[in-house]
Amino acid sequence: MHFQKSSNIKLLLCSLISLNLFANEFSLNNQDILSDTRQKSFDLSQEKSNEDSSKLKKDWINPITYKYTKNFGEEYKNEKSVISIDQAIFRSGGIYEAINYANSTQKYSDLEISQQRKTLIHTATNYLFLIKKTDLNIQKAKLSLMNAKIDVNRKKEQVLNGFLDSSYLDNALLTQNTAKHSLIDLKYQKQELINNFSNISSKEYTNFTLPTLKIFNEKEYLENNIEIKKAQVDINKKDHFKGVTRANYLPSVNAFYTYTNNHFKDGISSLDNNSQVYGLRVTVPFDSRTFNDIESKKLDYLKSKVDLQNKITDEKTYFKSKLEKISMIEDRINVTKEDLSIYESILNIIYEEKEAQLKTQSDLDTLENSQKIKALDLKTYKIDKQIELLSVYAKLN
């Protein structure tokens, strides 16, 4: 019970730390990490979104039609040009709703493109963290291998002197062999991570400095959460689309104009005969599907509002889980710091015993290597914490 209370207090304190997502002149929002072709793809997607939105805003405007016909009959030859316009000037609010629907659609599309770009930047930055973590693990593996070699030499001497059975040497050799293979695997993993990073960025991973992310509060997280923003825009989009659908079944007024130019030719003379027709047309549709269509769009709109509440709940839970994970990592960091203090005190004793020839240099080297491994563990946990924060940041707009 005491542990649970202290954990909750720690989570609360963590959630109150101010927002700070930048470090060392490197911003996670910096698009320079993306290759030119990746960035170009996003730029083209944005341009396409802008054009699609402009087209959608003009969908209520009907085209001006020009039609030219020519009759090649032997007895009666005729050429005719017709220009016609049939434009809605009132659609029971449908024009207003259509324009707002187009604006909402573009906002949603912009958020999706921003999310895709942010996800790719997050992936590239995550590779940078993993490469750094693998570097630390390689250093740890090298230290473990050094200790394994020291242990093999110690066991070999003890076996040759008859103090130990040969099985102890066999086990030490197996441990050394395992350490060698672990080092080989880690070097391969690092190269694989570098290759994956190169798929996203055209620059060397060494050109980038890792950011230092800090925790921010739940209110800031929810206000800037891109999934929640998309859900909010989706509500507006479906609300306006509901208005567009309803207007399709209400009275509308169109203005029309037709200009006709007839060209009669008899081989000797020609006479132009022009005519114009214009006016207003009122249309009242009667469709048996009206109620079903309108109700369907209304239900879609109501569902989007429920989806928003579910999304907020999901994101609150996600944020809470991440804080708990970070709290767990902080506990590991504190335990490792305590271990390092213990190693420091033991090393002082071992050093004094070595000076008194009670311990060997190999005893001191083994313990020093173990202390260095613990220090690398500390750095690894700090990177784990940054990776967790990075996954939270990836959800921000």
Q: Give 24's pLDDT tier (boundaries 50, 70, 90).
A: very low
Helix (H, G, I), strand (E, B) or coil at 255: strand
Residue 299 CA: distances (Å) to CA of 264, 291, 303, 308, 352: 59, 12, 6, 14, 79
When pLDDT is averaged across residues 28-47 and rounded to a whole number, the result is 86
- Please say if the pLDDT value at position 257 is more than 50: yes
Q: Decide: 250 and 91 in contact? Cβ < 8 Å.
A: yes
How high is the pLDDT of residue 274?
82
- Please say if the pLDDT value at position 17 is more than 50: no
When pLDDT is averaged across residues 220-234 and rounded to a whole number, the result is 96
How high is the pLDDT of residue 28?
53
Distance CA 389, CA 216 (A): 10
CATH of domain 2-33+91-250+285-393: 1.20.1600.10
Residue 207 CA: distances (Å) to CA of 96, 188, 286: 51, 21, 67
Q: Give 261's pLDDT tier (boundaries 50, 70, 90).
A: confident
Q: Give 236's pLDDT tier (boundaries 50, 70, 90).
A: very high
Contacts of 305 (CB under 8 A, 6+ apart): 235
Distance CA 381, CA 330 (A): 8
User: Comparing C-alpha atoms, which of 97, 95, 118, 116 is closest to residue 49?
Assistant: 116
Return the ∠ at Cα 106 (arms to 310 and 93), rounded to 5°.
90
- Region at 315 (left for phi over 0; alpha for psi -120 to 50; beta for the rest): alpha
How high is the pLDDT of residue 14?
45
Q: Give 358's pLDDT tier (boundaries 50, 70, 90).
A: confident
The edge-to-edge listing of strands for the beta sheet with 78-90 is: 65-71, 78-90, 252-265, 270-283
How high is the pLDDT of residue 272?
53
Q: Decide: 103 and 371 in contact? Cβ < 8 Å.
A: no
User: How high is the mean pLDDT of the chain?
Assistant: 88
Helix (H, G, I), strand (E, B) or coil at 89: strand
DSSP string, 150-209: HHHHHHHHHHHTTSS-HHHHHHHHHHHHHHHHHHHHHHHHHHHHHHHHHHH-SS-GGG-P
pLDDT, tens digit (0-9, with 9 covering 90-100), for 289-347: 999 999 999 999 999 999 999 999 999 999 999 999 999 999 999 999 999 999 999 99
Q: Decide: 207 and 194 in contact? Cβ < 8 Å.
A: no
DSSP string, 195-254: HHHHHH-SS-GGG-PPP------HHHHHHTBHHHHHHHHHHHHHHHHHHHHHHTTS-EEE
pLDDT, tens digit (0-9, with 9 covering 90-100), for 167-211: 999 999 999 999 999 999 999 999 999 999 999 998 999 999 999
Q: Give 11's pLDDT tier (boundaries 50, 70, 90).
A: very low
Extents of the domains making up the chain: 2-33+91-250+285-393
How high is the pLDDT of residue 268?
39
By the 10 Å C-beta count (0-12 exposed, 13-18 middle, 19+ buried), 330 is classed as middle
φ, ψ dihedrals at 321, nearest 5°? -65, -40
How high is the pLDDT of residue 357?
85
pLDDT, tens digit (0-9, with 9 covering 90-100), for 47-103: 999 999 999 999 889 999 999 888 776 666 678 899 999 999 998 889 999 999 999
Distance CA 140, CA 142 (A): 5
